[in-house]
Amino acid sequence: MALSPETFTTRKRRPAASFNTSKLSDLNLLFSLLQLTDQICSLDLNSSANFLFNRASCSAIRKTQLLGVVFEDMIRSSTVNPDSVVVPHSLFLCLEEMYIVLHKIKTLIEDFSNGSRFNLLMQIEIVADTFHRLTGELSTLLDVFPIQELTLNDDVRDLVLLVRKQCSESRPVIGTEQINLRREVVSVLDRIKNEIVPDQAHLSSIFEKLEIRDASSCRAEIENLEEEIQNRSEEQSKADLVALIGLVRFAKCVLFGASTPSTRSVSLRRSRSSEFAVPADYRCPISLELMQDPVVVATGQTYDRVSIKLWMDSGHNTCPKTGQTLAHTDLIPNRVLRNMIATWCREQKIPFEVETVTGKLNGGVTNKAALEATRMTVSFLVNKLKGNDNAPLSVEDTNGAVYELRVLAKTDSDSRACIAEAGAIPLLVRFLDVGMENPSLQVNAVTTILNLSILEANKTRIMETDGALNGIAEVLLSGVTWEAKANAAATVFSLSGVPAHRKKLGRKTRVVSGLVNLARSGPEGARRDALAAILNLAADRETVARLVEGGAISMAAEVMAAMPEEGVTILEAVVKRGGLVAVAAAYAGIKRLGAVLREGSERARESAAATLVTMCRKGGSEVVGELAAVPGVERIIWELMAVGSVRGRRKAATLLRILRRWAAGLDGGESEGMSTTTMITPSTTTLAP
């Protein structure tokens, strides 16, 4: 694997507002320079950054400190006797340029001190050259600094000459130890690429030198590398960073043990997102959660990538928001919106997660080192879960290993394939019924299965695994946390995208009753997941009968008050395929449908009209009479005919004809083909963090 320093270019940053010096007065400029030098001198370098760039950074800080003394003396002279100080115009042009150079030095030190340590190691020549270039720019400015025209004391004058001499003699310096360490990292990546598992002692030595000494520092390093990927446009540069992520993830599990994040870090994003109202434009129309990777579909609507991909993978070829058939399935990144969301998250101090790839990049080119690192990590975790009779795994270690698989299953299809091929699914199924003893382990297990189910091949693997469906049903019915129940429902939704699996799931009475109960009594997000799964199951006529028996119709009528679009869509789908039994069960909900017809959204009114048409045709005059008894129903129908959607107007016209034939003592009405507009989609972001 050829890792060249050129591929690890320094990140591009927007110029800070303080770069604009045109509004600074003469004295204000000196004060700003003094403040900037103080900020540079007070920068706290982490020890690993100090190890990598000790001489370069310390030299830059030392020169800045000396310049601060010069600026302080100039301010003192200007304030003590301002009338006697004649200041040449060239001085302030020089100071303005010096301000920009010093700000670049401050930005450079901050970047390498707070960023990824591995990325810094890989680009040590680039950063060293950048330090040298900025020092050269400073040297040029000090050459034209009008020292003879200023009233400076001798010590300060000598100080300016000293800094000028130091800058002019500066050379880029890189230590031998740092170069050797980089060679070691490249060698480890090459061995991984050739499917050779790295020696643990050697790996430990590398991480010790970079002062990455525990699981939490590994997580921080992975996050920094992921952020670096977002700042790159070159595919090769991204590929090298992805390989480094794979290396750090492998080392995290092997050296420091698989572990779960702290409770505080897990709840941070949830608490933040609930504390601040997320702008509507930043929420995915499918999950109603903050979008992480917004993409545009063929109809021009924007969705979060994982949510719309799950929708498409489940067999849908329509736009969830508009109902239009998608001309193509290409997903175009909405980078402008993503940058806006990222900026908003930074302002609100909300963690902004980005899904990273472990094997494939945007162009579809496989990164061999990253893929092999993933395989090695998965193999290590699965073998750990299999345990040893002589040394059984503790509950904490088990939960940590399952959590690491959950994180890996979130990344991409290659990781999902690796996990399933390694035999992880049967092991995960064993932990679905441990809710009372270990709720966290149950959540991690069901969420990992959910994330694995996105891959089409894994759907069949899950369905064919002994105990998998019973385990998912058990979580639906008696999961200890709402998160576990919601993710179990989302798993059913994902699996039911395949028609053959839909039939098998529908035959499981416990699955149906679990979904109906969750849709009735769960929190909003969990209810949406359950309703989405029920709607998928309702596409099969055999399953509809079981849904009716399980109380899906009365449940849909109940949720109509709080979630009218979802409730009425479920009712439409079930009544359409459920025959007279379904119509009879829905009879008590006619008045509620009338209320939706009067007050619901355009989509809800359309589905309500379609449902009523089906019920009137199948249920006969008794159902029509019940509809006619709804106060002002004809006026409501006329209004829908005037301002509703095309389908809504058509259904409203049919309803009006049915009512008038009934009023005239005639039964029935003309036939009309009907289609159910699918509206409900899961709220759980399937790649659960």
Asked if residue 220 and residue 107 are part of one domain, the reply reads: no
What is the distance of C-alpha 269 from the center of its chain?
11
Judge whether 432 lies within some domain. Answer: no
Tokens found for residue 210: 């970079």
Length of the chain: 689
Beta carbons within 8 Å of 334's beta carbon, 6+ residues apart? 294, 295, 296, 302
Asked if residue 181 and residue 144 are part of one domain, the reply reads: no
Among the candidates 221, 256, 291, a domain finishes at 256
Beta carbons within 8 Å of 524's beta carbon, 6+ residues apart? 562, 563, 683
Tokens found for residue 672: 């009309």
Asked if residue 240 and residue 133 are part of one domain, the reply reads: no
Residue 671 pLDDT more than 50? no
Judge whether 233 lies within some domain. Answer: yes
Asked if residue 37 and residue 136 are part of one domain, the reply reads: yes
pLDDT digits (tens, 9 = 90+) for 595-620: 888 888 888 888 889 889 988 888 88
pLDDT digits (tens, 9 = 90+) for 153-212: 888 888 888 888 888 888 877 778 888 988 999 999 999 999 899 999 999 999 998 888
Q: What percent of the chain has pLDDT over 70?
A: 83
Under 8 Å between Cβ of 550 and 516:
yes
Judge whether 18 lies within some domain. Answer: no
Asked if residue 252 and residue 155 are part of one domain, the reply reads: no
Residue 488 pLDDT more than 90? yes
Among the candidates 173, 188, 213, a domain finishes at 173
Least confident range of 73-77, 581-585, 630-634: 73-77
Q: How many domains does the chain have?
A: 3
Confidence of residue 87 (pLDDT cuts 50, 70, 90): low
* Tokens 């690993």, located at residue: 48
Q: In what order do the strands lie in the sheet with 294-296?
A: 302-304, 294-296, 332-333
pLDDT at res. 688: 53
pLDDT at res. 323: 72
Judge whether 512 lies within some domain. Answer: no
Judge whether 8 lies within some domain. Answer: no
Closest CA to 455 of 411, 488, 423: 411
Residue 680 pLDDT more than 90? no
> In angstroms, rounded to a whole number, what is the distance separating the alpha carbons of residues 149 and 168?
22
Between residues 78 and 426, which one has the greater pLDDT?
426
pLDDT at res. 684: 47
Q: Are strands 332-333 and 302-304 parallel, antiparallel or unpaired?
A: unpaired
Judge whether 54 lies within some domain. Answer: yes
| Helix spans in 81-153 (H) | 89-114, 117-122, 124-143
Least confident range of 30-44, 68-82, 193-207, 632-646: 68-82
pLDDT digits (tens, 9 = 90+) for 495-531: 988 888 988 998 999 999 999 999 999 888 888 889 9
Asked if residue 159 and residue 61 are part of one domain, the reply reads: yes
* Tokens 């040394």, located at residue: 391
* Tokens 């119709």, located at residue: 553
Average pLDDT over residues 405-434: 91
Asked if residue 216 and residue 143 are part of one domain, the reply reads: no
Least confident range of 28-42, 169-183, 243-257, 442-456: 169-183
pLDDT digits (tens, 9 = 90+) for 198-250: 999 999 999 998 888 888 888 888 888 887 887 776 777 788 888 999 999 99
> In angstroms, rounded to a whole number, what is the distance separating the alpha carbons of residues 628 and 108?
74
Q: What is the mean pLDDT of the chain?
A: 81
Closest CA to 420 of 375, 388, 373: 375
Tokens found for residue 311: 């929708």
The SS3 of residue 64 is helix
Residue 313 pLDDT more than 90? no
pLDDT at res. 349: 61
Q: Which domain holds residue 334?
A: 282-346
> In angstroms, rounded to a whole number, what is the distance separating the alpha carbons of residues 91 and 145?
7
Residue 8 pLDDT more than 80? no
Asked if residue 342 and residue 293 are part of one domain, the reply reads: yes
Among the candidates 329, 346, 363, a domain finishes at 346
Judge whether 290 lies within some domain. Answer: yes
> In angstroms, rounded to a whole number, what is the distance separating the alpha carbons of residues 20 and 17?
6
* Tokens 């175009």, located at residue: 332
Asked if residue 154 and residue 95 are part of one domain, the reply reads: yes
Residue 247 CA: distances (Å) to CA of 39, 130, 272, 376, 383:
35, 27, 31, 10, 19
Beta carbons within 8 Å of 534's beta carbon, 6+ residues apart? 515, 516, 519, 547, 552, 570
Residue 420 pLDDT more than 90? yes
Least confident range of 53-62, 208-217, 255-264, 675-684: 675-684
Judge whether 558 lies within some domain. Answer: no
Asked if residue 108 and residue 74 are part of one domain, the reply reads: yes
Asked if residue 243 and residue 320 are part of one domain, the reply reads: no
Tokens found for residue 671: 């036939």
How does DSSP assign 30-58, residue by residue?
A: HHHHHHHHHHHHT----HHHHHHHHHHHH
pLDDT digits (tens, 9 = 90+) for 323-337: 778 888 888 888 778
pLDDT digits (tens, 9 = 90+) for 262-310: 554 444 444 444 445 678 788 888 777 788 888 988 888 899 888 888 7
pLDDT at res. 14: 40
Domain containing residue 334: CATH number: 3.30.40.10
Beta carbons within 8 Å of 387's beta carbon, 6+ residues apart? 393
CB atoms within 10 A of CB 217: 18
Asked if residue 183 and residue 161 are part of one domain, the reply reads: no
pLDDT at res. 469: 93
pLDDT digits (tens, 9 = 90+) for 655-667: 989 988 888 877 6
> In angstroms, rounded to a whole number, what is the distance separating the alpha carbons of residues 565 and 608?
9
